[in-house]
Amino acid sequence: MKGYSTQNVAELLELSPELIREIARAGILEPTRTAGNHYRFDFQDIIVLRTAKELMQAGVRRAEINNALFNLKSKLPSNRPLTSLRIAGDGGAVVIREADQVYDAATGQIHFNFAVADLAGTVAPLARQAAEEAQASDQLSSDDWFDLGVDLEAVSPQDAPAAYLRALELDPYHSDAHVNIGRLLQEAGEYESAEEHYNHALDVERDNVLAAFNLGTLFEDMGRIQDAIDAYKRASNLADAHYNLSRLYELVGEHAEALKHLKTYRSLIERS
């Protein structure tokens, strides 16, 4: 069973198990449960619980804390690593900072600031232990291995590829595992292998927009501009795909197409 037990998280964050269960029961978190009905928390849950601790220490009222946590949970990205994020109290609001972007997460008078990467470092030993236990188990499904890979990416990235590959051993048609291992290979500069995995994902699930979008970024990395354009077109419901199409069409001198996709990008952003 993937994830971290209530006791694991209580010891890690120095929170009482009772408080953790109370926050989980409030619907702020969505932990899985074991066959014995015990909670199992993922890394996103740990980020939210760490923020709850900081808010309580800052003296924020409980109603405001719950509101802040609901908003924070909804804004944590689910399709990319979390370790570039910093959670902070800024001008009376909980905010998520990533590079030059800031996401307002809630209201409340607070004063704290922590890097998710630092939190990941403390969680990493637990994640490695979970991976070792999983290796010894023959009861995990391909989805279990995929979920473990996602957790490992957040806290111990070097261990994530093995989990995704194990998911694919059990189910060669697991499109999300192909996408994630493809992205890791792309980041490592192994472009041909990454392309194979993205294409496998699209063979299994033709409308997998994340596979198509990532394939577009890969083709850009490889200097294959027309192939990148074709790939981004397959991710037409993603605003960022239209932004990249606008940029690439401008690059190749097709100004009318560039303007059309820029307008679509703005329209999708305004709706979100």
For 214-235, what is each residue's pLDDT tens digit? 999 999 999 999 999 999 999 9
Tokens matching residue 198? 């993205």
What does the pLDDT read at residue 78? Answer: 60
Q: What is the pLDDT of residue 140?
A: 77
Does this model's pTM top 0.85?
no
* SS3 label, residue 167: helix
pLDDT at site 141: 85
Q: Residues near 228 by Cβ (< 8 Å), separated by ≥ 6?
A: 216, 217, 219, 220, 244, 248
From first to last of the 272 residues of the chain, give the pLDDT tens digit.
467 889 888 988 888 999 898 888 888 888 888 777 788 888 888 888 887 887 777 777 777 777 777 777 776 766 555 555 666 555 445 656 654 444 444 433 344 556 666 666 667 676 667 666 666 566 778 988 888 888 788 777 788 898 899 999 999 999 999 999 999 999 999 999 999 999 999 999 999 999 999 999 999 999 999 999 999 999 999 999 999 999 999 999 999 999 999 999 999 888 76
Give residue-wise pLDDT tens across range 67-95: 777 777 776 766 555 555 666 555 445 65
Cβ atoms of 149 and 160 within 8 Å: the answer is: yes
Q: Give the orientation angle of helix 209-221 with respect to helix 225-233, to 10 degrees.
A: 170
Q: Do strands 101-107 and 39-40 pair parallel, antiparallel, or not at all (unpaired)? A: unpaired
By the 8 A CB rule, do 72 and 96 touch?
yes
Q: Which two tokens stand for residue 191?
A: 């472009």
The token pair at 73 is 């949970």
